[in-house]
Amino acid sequence: MPSNTEIEAPRPGAPQRPADKWIWGFYIILCLISLVESYSASSQDIAKFGLIMPILKHALLLLGGIAIAFGMQHVHYNKMKFFIPIFALLTLAMVLYVMKYGEVLNGARRSFRIIGISIQPSEMAKLSLVTIIAWVMSKVQIPGGGVKWGGIAVCATVVLIFGALLYPQGFTNTVILMGISLAMMLISGIQFKRLAIVLAVYGLCFVAYKSYDRHNDEREALTAQVTQVDPAQEAKASPDRTDTRKNRLKSFDFSEDSCLAHPMTSEYHQEQYGYMARAHGGVIGVGPGNSRECSRLPLAFSDYVFSIIVEELGLVGALIIMVLYMSLLGRAGYIAQRCKRAFPALLVMGMAVMISVQALSHMAINCGLVPVTGQPLPFISKGGSAIIIMSIAMGIMLSVSRYAEYNTGKKPLPASPDKKADDDKEEAINPAQMA
């Protein structure tokens, strides 16, 4: 091979390098922490199903996720482009199905079950959004920097569609989708004026969502007056999170010790027990398996697992968990910066952003920085679809690290006239743009 040429990307299926060991390391460490802390937080499940069943079920899910990631690292990321629109349509169908027939969890229809595994389309929507944005933005790169309006409009439209459909389940998923999309647009090199327009559109949609809440309240009040339907029965028949969102936003107070100002009721006990768990942990924690609050804290193994981690591992353990997620994001940035093409760079960064945003959201909720809502901690919280989706994201990152064509810093030779272009003629990305 001539010395002044870049390494040519291999044909799909032919390995160029081993999968990134750092990504594998972060993944395995998080899974090991999950085995210990999720089991420790599962005292309520242990009381129902015994000592072995909770840890066995969770371990099998984690092993299944690792198997998925291992298998996907051997699939060239370019082959995944064919499945992006299929996966988006499948996700859309599942979201619509859950809105009508899904299982009710915490006052909203959120999931359905397949062979005993709970599937939450909201998690699938995040993965689908990342792949769509990476695919579209790789097509609309402007030489010299920036992206075209058409790609921005398509991505924003997808965000608003998924966001509107997920809004009845909880506003947090909508906010996370918007946050992921804005981060990926910044990474892709969007001009700041166009980013400001996207932000304005998202803001107008937020106002529209709030107007929907007010209109929904007025409609329900009118219906109750005319038909004299019991509000509790109506909520059971048609679960909606509108009242829950309002109550949580109304009761949220960022001031110090605000949660202790409320009485110990079913409305506030989750925040208060979480606060007690974090206060009990101190700096170094009480040790794995010695949690005091896991038996009293609702959903300690999922929505509030970070509070149990702080109780058992202390501030030191909490910082280690945070560093692991941020290190994963940094490693993805390193891989993206070396990629020659836009699609793999945006794909690996998008997956890392999705995981880190989800993790930071969970931590912020547990620490009382934002109103309470249910968000799992990636790879650590219990849950079927969350573990599977995040493992797919890790597999895609590993595939990019294995197959992506890297910049070598050397000037490439001009391509021959009869050389076939890359499979969908994606624009080459400026390495400085990914810095």
Residues 356-365: tens digit of each pLDDT:
999 999 999 8
Structure tokens that stand for 358 in this block: 């989800």
Select from 277, 278, 247 the least CA-distant residue to 262.
Answer: 247
In this structure, the strands spanning 108-114 and 117-119 are antiparallel
pLDDT band for position 253 (50/70/90)?
low
Query: pLDDT exceeding 90 applies to what percent of the chain?
Result: 40
pLDDT at 432 over 60: no
- Long-range contacts of the stretch 268-273 (C-beta < 8 A, 24+): 269/298, 270/297, 270/298, 270/299, 270/303, 270/304, 270/372, 271/368, 271/372, 273/297, 273/298, 273/304, 273/307
Place 266 in a pLDDT band, splitting at 50, 70 and 90. Answer: low
Neighbour count for residue 222 (Cβ, 10 Å):
10
Residue 263: predicted pLDDT: 60
**Range in 40-54, 183-197, 314-328, 336-350 the model is least confident about:** 40-54
Confidence of residue 3 (pLDDT cuts 50, 70, 90): very low
Looking at the predicted structure, is the pLDDT value of residue 143 above 90?
no
Identify the pLDDT of residue 15.
52
pLDDT-derived band at 237 (thresholds 50, 70, 90) equals very low
186 pLDDT tier (thresholds 50, 70, 90): very high
Residue 393: pLDDT over 60: yes
Instruction: Report which of 76, 79, 68 is spatially closest to residue 27, judged by C-alpha positions.
Output: 68
Q: For residue 376, name the pLDDT band (cuts at 50, 70, 90).
A: confident
pLDDT computed for residue 240 by the predictor: 53
Both structure tokens of 352: 């890392």
For 298-323, what is the mean pLDDT?
A: 89
Tell which wins on pLDDT, 300 or 360.
360
pLDDT at 409 exceeding the cut of 80: no
What is the mean predicted confidence (pLDDT) over 107-129?
A: 81
Say whether pLDDT at 2 is over 50.
no
User: pLDDT averaged over the chain?
Assistant: 79
